[in-house]
């Protein structure tokens, strides 16, 4: 799991490659490297650590080739080291490869290649790829222009797993070949050549025009042209897509970190996600997916499948769909879903949530559901991503690029979009009174303004962060939708501050977890549902009596003076309160991480797009 970049054109490749790697460093930063064609030879320069380390390699500033590939790594096979860093070459140094994904049968392939005289210098799964290409190239007796492509094609047929691959050869110094399967890869058409990357933000300063590759689709490029081939090497035309993201959206715009910028972008991200889909007095507009009443009436269950933060968004989506549509909903962790033999048929709608649209476990679960006859609907932030191309229907959040590893604006945008989708379904099914739906629409339209109130709590949150940033354990509690927010708040704290935290349904405290509450420990509570306030306050009093410090996020007027810090947010429909109550928890995690002097945007051991299972 990593970031890859490539360039072929009329400019010097090296600075373009390093610039692209820097933009993609949130995808992985154990090691980095580049390969370029210099005087008809492949020159590889790589090192352990951050992309910036490449600038210290002797001779890197003298590279002037106009064809190159690059990689920033998040280790899956082999420890972080210079030897394991990409690019990797075959034994003859004829082919160089960078790869994103996992080759599941690499041990078998490694043994095969070893038996055929090949030697390996790294512990990575990737190193089998250039050697396989060399093996097939050497066995091909036809010396025509497509020999390079045939060798790459044959090599990919041997691979099991996921991959996005860029290949150079010193025998074809003016060409580059790229191919993907289940891992992201985009090609941007710029004014001076072609730019390749595993993520669109890395290329926005060069172009808005992109080719989005399908599985087993090959692109063969030189500085002036590009050709596309399917897995049988039949050439075909491909449509270019214009992506309307603003390049400045992928920059910090004066904020100290991307995460803080993205937290404060939530009002506009939600406003953009609402877009033209929701208007008072009119039915919600999802004409782009055209789901009929006849089909919706046949559904007897909805699955929402996702990972991490997206799964937490799904938990709130479940509340929307069950309350408004009266259809049973199950929320599943994608990595578990496939292996529990879920009961799925043509009467099941399966919704898959992924910010990047490239989450490997979620894509695998989607394919399983399709194989069982279910209709599939993707919720993603990335146009043309793998999940959107695999699913029957797709709806997009419009959060813009999210660079920080810890998701914030994508999460709240997902919750909003699921809410609007539930209203749309309810309008078609006539399952909820129209007055209730109109009131909910009004509340959704008011969300961007109300989030400003949540963001105004920054100073109070920052003060509390200073008090508790050295703690080892923190607990989050809540009831109903507030419990879903507790889960997300706890995950944020773990992700970027490395403090152990747990989230519990408040009513479960007395069934075991209260044994962990002792003097001085911090308990963070969310109280937004007025129907559950009395019981929730009772739970907070229980932890206070055992010496806990309390941090409370609420939209209620609380009279108890024993609470240490109370963060007040706006009132809204209880279904929507998670969108407002999560913001102070995002800020709390951010400021605790800053107090500890940690890298907020690039937490250890994590990567933005989890493209391996």
Residues belonging to the active site? 2, 608
**Residue keyed to tokens 């609402």:** 274
CA distance 604 to 509: 31
Which string of DSSP letters, residue by residue, matches 121-184?
SSS-STTHHHHHHHHHHHH----STTHHHHHHHHHHHH--EEEEEEEEETTSTT-EEEEEEBS-
CA distance 289 to 287: 5
H or E stretch at 406: none
Return the DSSP state at 55.
G
Cis status of the peptide bond prior to 134, with omega within 30 of 0: no
User: CA nearest 360: which of 101, 594, 147, 106?
Assistant: 101
User: CA nearest 396: which of 322, 324, 315, 289?
Assistant: 289
Q: Decide if 262 contacts 409 (C-beta within 8 A).
A: yes
Strands 301-306 and 348-354, by their bridges, are: parallel
CA distance 188 to 397: 22
Interhelix angle 128-139/147-158, rounded to 10 degrees, is 130
CA distance 105 to 553: 49
User: Count of H helices and E strands in the chain?
Assistant: 17, 25
Strands 375-380 and 393-396, by their bridges, are: parallel
Gyration radius of the chain's alpha carbons: 26
| Beta strands, E only, 360-517 | 375-380, 393-396, 473-478, 500-505
User: CA nearest 476: which of 492, 463, 460?
Assistant: 492
Helix/strand/coil (H/E/C) assignment for every residue in 545-583: CCCCEEEEEECCCCCCCCCCEEEECCCCCCCCHHHHHHH
What count of other Cβ atoms lies within 10 Å of the Cβ of residue 297? 10
């Amino acid at each position: 799991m990593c970031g890859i970049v490539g360039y072929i054109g009329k400019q010097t490749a090296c600075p373009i490659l390093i610039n692209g790697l820097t933009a993609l460093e949130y995808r992985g930063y154990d090691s980095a490297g580049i390969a370029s064609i210099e005087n008809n030879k492949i020159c590889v320069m790589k090192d352990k650590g951050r992309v910036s380390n490449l600038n210290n390699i002797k001779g890197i500033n003298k590279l002037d080739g106009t064809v190159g590939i690059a990689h920033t790594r998040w280790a899956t096979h082999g420890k972080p080291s210079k030897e394991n860093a990409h690019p990797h070459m075959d034994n003859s140094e004829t082919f160089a490869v960078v790869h994103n994904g996992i080759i599941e049968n690499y041990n078998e392939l490694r043994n095969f290649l070893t038996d055929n005289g090949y030697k390996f210098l790294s512990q990575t799964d990737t190193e089998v790829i250039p050697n396989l290409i060399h093996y097939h190239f050497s066995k091909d007796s036809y010396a025509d222009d497509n020999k390079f492509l045939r060798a790459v094609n044959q090599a990919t047929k041997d691979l099991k797993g996921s991959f996005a691959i860029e290949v150079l050869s010193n025998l074809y110094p003016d060409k580059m070949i790229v191919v993907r399967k289940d891992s992201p890869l985009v090609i941007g058409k710029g004014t001076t050549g072609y730019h390749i990357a595993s993520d669109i933000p890395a290329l926005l300063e060069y172009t808005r025009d992109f080719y989005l590759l399908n599985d087993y689709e090959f692109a063969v490029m030189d500085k002036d042209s590009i050709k596309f081939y399917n897995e049988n090497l039949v050439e075909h035309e491909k449509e270019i897509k214009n992506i309307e993201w603003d390049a400045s959206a992928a920059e910090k715009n004066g904020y100290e970190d991307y995460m803080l910028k993205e937290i404060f972008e939530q009002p506009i991200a939600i406003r953009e996600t609402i877009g033209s889909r929701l208007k008072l007095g009119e039915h919600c507009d999802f004409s782009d997916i055209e789901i009929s009443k006849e089909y919706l009436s046949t559904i007897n269950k909805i699955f929402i499948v996702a990972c991490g933060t997206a799964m937490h968004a799904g938990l709130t989506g479940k509340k929307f769909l069950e309350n408004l549509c009266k259809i049973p909903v199950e929320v599943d962790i994608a990595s578990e879903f496939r292996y529990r033999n879920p009961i799925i048929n043509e009467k099941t709608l399966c919704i898959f949530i992924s910010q990047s649209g490239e989450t490997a476990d979620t894509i695998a679960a989607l394919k399983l559901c399709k194989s069982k006859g279910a209709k599939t609907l993707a919720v993603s932030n990335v146009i043309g991503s793998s999940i959107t191309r695999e699913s029957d229907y797709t709806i997009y959040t419009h959060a813009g690029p999210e660079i920080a590893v810890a998701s914030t604006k994508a999460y709240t945008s997902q919750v909003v979009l699921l809410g609007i989708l539930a209203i749309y379904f309810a309008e078609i099914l006539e399952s909820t009174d129209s007055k209730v739906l109109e009131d909910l629409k009004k509340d959704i339209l008011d969300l961007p303004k109300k989030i400003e109130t949540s963001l105004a709590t920054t100073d109070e949150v920052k003060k509390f962060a200073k008090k508790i940033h050295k703690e080892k354990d923190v607990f989050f509690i809540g009831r109903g939708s507030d419990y879903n927010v507790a889960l997300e708040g706890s995950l944020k704290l773990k992700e970027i501050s490395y403090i152990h935290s747990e989230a519990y349904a408040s009513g479960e405290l007395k069934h075991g977890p209260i044994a962990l509450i002792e003097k001085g420990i911090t308990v963070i509570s969310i109280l937004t549902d007025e129907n559950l306030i009395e019981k929730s306050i009772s739970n907070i009093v229980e932890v206070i009596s055992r010496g806990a410090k309390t941090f409370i996020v609420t939209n209620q007027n609380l009279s108890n003076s024993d609470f240490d810090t109370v963060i007040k947010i706006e009132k809204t429909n209880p279904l929507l309160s998670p969108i407002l109550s999560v913001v102070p928890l995002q800020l709390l995690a951010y400021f605790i991480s800053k107090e500890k002097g940690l890298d907020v945007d690039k937490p250890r051991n994590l990567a933005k797009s989890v493209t391996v299972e």
